[in-house]
Structure 1
């Protein structure tokens, strides 16, 4: 069956032990997706890789990456006939996941995990569409998923694994050996196998060269990049995780520490990271990497340790990389520290800027100010480091003045970039509430109906004139349709579209490379 070819990483020689399903953000049978790239499901690939190395035949069906609808996704799973189907439940995709689960053959056992399962386990267990659900795994799943594949009855001794008792209909859970629980709930991050990229249909991938790529190629410091960009061959990029957990408590974030008290913050040994970089280069020819964990550049002492090892291994001569960063930490780095980052291959830092209003930043518990953001951005781009800034519009309590201040702030950041070698890319989102986060608890206590807060739907922003500029961010355009601040939703979305269009235009005014 041709559709089975969409399953990644599985062997077709024997029974499929598990098929892990990344549900689509919306039903693409109703409106086809427009973007041609989506971020890889690294967490799911970690679980699949661990299970594969434990001897199980597993695969990944990334319905979002392939633009599949509900019916087609369920049809592929039923045709593959795995013993288990696994789903990562997220608030925006929960309805899609539940509708797919309802269409699975009764003989396929279902296991689920993810932020939504962790935040609302009883709601998931009680959902009649999850009738095949035999294990709800809270937190990091590698070790416990492999144990479930070995023997479903082991769930009775696995920590933080829940199911619905078939007789009483109430929640049941494993009673674990305390000595074994720590390794099962938070396995050694350096002990996990490198992700098998066969499970990821779009990673590694070949991106279009950015303005930063062209500038770095033009200055001649990285010969392979100049050859790749100027020669028209392009380069391969892969996503990677350098740490797990976050020490901050930003109000809107599913990774906030208060939503994940069980997650122990761990940072990979730099030699372990370099081992994966080199393996990806040897196997696939990858020369660019994106660290997508919550805060790769988030602890000053860790940054210094990693950069010393990167320098010892000449990483900056061989590769370039992007990373997430924390503004208040970067603000404490010296110019020499920034030079070290540049020399080690840092191309761009992704920053959660969120707002230009100090009042809103305090409401979000960001522990930064707009002035600090401008200072950090100025120093980064002056060193030739690009900045990708994320912003949230329509946050609870946001006024028109706050929104206008954010728009001016973005303009200031663009002006700073125009006077320096580094670029800034702005990515703007409409606020949406995630269960388990600090702001979710506030909204519910203020009287919002959880059912309404979970009513995610996709939004077509092309009506606001963004057209091509919105194409590559189609997967991020979803909303619960509630006005949380003082500004009407239509105005929030029009502002979002205007800023996105302007950033798109800036992206396409790149300098030419000298021959």
Structure 2
């Protein structure tokens, strides 16, 4: 019975066609987790939802959300014995996924996908622990996964689906005509069903009230906002687009790493329909857009904000989104005011560094002055900012690192004099296969095996601890010094900034930065 309670979306009355497994970040039998929130696996939920609509009995086992160990995860899969197991392969969790796959009953077919599968398909198919893989799906999987569940032999006609012949040791790849390939690799995202939240054990969720919520309640005098200020919003994560036109050196979504991905944005009506559906079904009043483009293209912003205004979204909901600094810098003051009126609560910005030299090396198309200008304009309007920063990027000097520390403290000072707040999330650089910087590093002679040796970052010796961060999804390192500053100094700086942000959160009631 415990197994069934962990399988999100399963119909226990019928055989299980597929179980999609999100591997844990660590083997939690060795060290229990400290945080109680994980990012929802939206991509996996999209695939499960589409398969369910196609008539298949599918479920999701989010081993990370439940803090499961490797052996327990494999045992659950073997006990429920689905026809297929699907796994999303990510660089930091690949080893966990491979160890789970190695323990699965050979009678269970395995399909894999995700950024890591796309970046290193032949390496994965050659891994003896992945011997049960019968389909490696590169790119967006909804249509092709459903086709595989219907008939495994269809893999020969499915584009960008690979497999390894266990007898001959050769690799096969599906072939399709141009029309089928375009449809399969870039489905119409407005035609896809909304994510069935039954597949997400921690989304929607009740979030603790923040200073931003209380400020919004005071300024807008809306009853539902006042209630949210007291008790917190019911929040949900949502995707508004797929693909990215930018080429940040460290990012797996960079356009140079994804030439097959057609950039698509959901229509305003389609997005608003999902907002209203989530509100009706779950009482959701706060949304987080986690894709790159919602506040990353001016034309998209104008189109969506007009629709949000027409539907009075700002009177009913609040929302957060990722944003591009260079795009926000070009918006007029009245454009930012419209965003506020339409419910914008916080923007996540990839600030990354306070050094213009490093920002150029990352191909960010921004500079520190631009970041300061955009942050100030947002904070003046009460819009919160969540800034991401990378320490230890290849080529970083001590002067570059010091510039980033000064930049963060300068942004904190700006926040102290404005209605909006800022949260600084600081991470140590780690390379991901398939990113532009990965090729730079391997061309320079770095061993791919060493670049893939992800391990925990232990900040406790520097006075920080994981409970300060609450979410440690990205708290990994490969233990290599890529810039001029020694690794222990990078981590000491990271711990210092994390501790200072934590203290600011506690003093200002902002919760925990993540």
| Aligned positions of 1:490-505 closer than 5 A | 490-505=488-503
CA–CA distance in structure 1, aligned partners of residues 76 and 165 of structure 2: 29
Residues 1:151 and 2:151 aligned together: yes
Matched residues in 2 for 1:459 and 1:201: separation? 27
Aligned-pair CA distance for 1:207: 1.3
Following TM superposition, by how much is the alpha carbon of 1:430 offset from its aligned partner in structure 2, in angstroms? 0.6
Q: How does 1:26-425 map to 2 (within 5 A)?
A: 26-230=26-230, 233-425=231-423
Report if aligned partners of 2:351, 2:388 keep a CA contact under 8 Å in 1: yes
TM-superposed CA distance for 1:511, in Å, is 6.8
Deviation at 1:218, TM superposition (A): 2.5
Deviation at 1:235, TM superposition (A): 1.9
CA distance in 2, matches of 1:104, 1:2: 19
**Structure 2 segments unaligned to the other structure (5+ residues):** none
Distance in 2 (CA, whole Å) between partners of 1:393 and 1:442 is 18
> 2:176, 2:466 → 1: CA distance?
52
| Contact 1:210–1:507 (CA under 8 A) maintained in structure 2 | no
Worse-matched range after superposition: 246-255 or 485-494: 485-494
Cα deviations by residue, 1:102-130 (Å, 9 ceiling, x for unpaired)? 00001100000000000000000100000
Provide the C-alpha distance between the structure 2 equivalents of 1:352 and 1:376, rounded to a whole number of angstroms: 12
Deviates further, 171-180 or 283-292: 171-180
Q: Is the 8 A contact 1:238 1:286 kept in 2?
A: yes
Question: Is this contact kept in 2: 1:85–1:109, CA < 8 A?
Answer: yes
Q: Is the Cα contact below 8 Å between 2:452 and 2:478 reproduced in 1?
A: yes
Checking the alignment, whether the CA contact within 8 Å between 1:462 and 1:470 is kept in structure 2 is no
Q: Distance in 1 between matches of 2:469 and 2:369?
A: 32
CA distance in 2, matches of 1:473, 1:394: 21
1 CA distance for matches of 2:69 and 2:457? 17
Question: Conserved in 2, the CA contact under 8 Å of 1:461 and 1:470?
Answer: no
Once the two structures are TM-superposed, the CA of residue 67 in structure 1 deviates from its matched residue by: 0.7
Q: Could you give the per-residue CA deviations for residues 274-328 of structure 1, whole angstroms, max 9, x where no partner exists?
A: 0000000000000000000123101101100100000000000000000000000
1:8–1:199 Cα contact (<8 Å) kept: yes
DSSP 3-state at the match of 1:329? helix
Q: Distance in 1 between matches of 2:305 and 2:172?
A: 47
Which secondary structure state, in structure 2, belongs to the residue aligned with residue 20 of structure 1? strand
- Counterparts of 1:468 and 1:40, CA distance in 2: 20
Q: Matches of 2:222 and 2:95 in 1, distance apart?
A: 46
Aligned length: 510
Mapped to 2, the partners of 1:188 and 1:227 lie a distance apart of 38
- Tell me how far apart the structure 1 counterparts of residues 189 and 380 of structure 2 sit (CA, whole Å): 35
CA distance in 1, matches of 2:160, 2:319: 36
* Cα separation, 2, equivalents of 1:301 and 1:42: 25
Alignment correspondent of 2:18: 18
Provide the C-alpha distance between the structure 2 equivalents of 1:468 and 1:359, rounded to a whole number of angstroms: 31
SS of 1:286 mapped into structure 2 = coil
Residue 471 of structure 1: how far off its partner (Å): 4.4
Moved over 6 A (4+): none
Which shows bigger deviation, 130-139 or 462-471? 462-471
SS in structure 1 opposite 2:253? coil
The separation in 2 between residues aligned to 1:209 and 1:459, in whole angstroms, is 30
Contact 2:35 2:467 in 1 (8 A): no
Describe the superposition over 1:150-208 as per-residue Cα deviations: whole angstroms up to 9, x where unpaired.
Answer: 00000011011000023321110112132211111110010000000010010001111
Relative to structure 1, is the Cα distance of residues 88 and 328 closer, same or farther in structure 2, using a 3 angstrom cutoff? Answer: same
- Superposed CA RMSD in Å reads 1.2
Does the 8 A contact of 2:83 with 2:109 survive in 1?
yes
Q: What do residues 6-35 of structure 1 show as CA deviations (whole Å, max 9, x unaligned)?
A: 110111111100000111111111111111
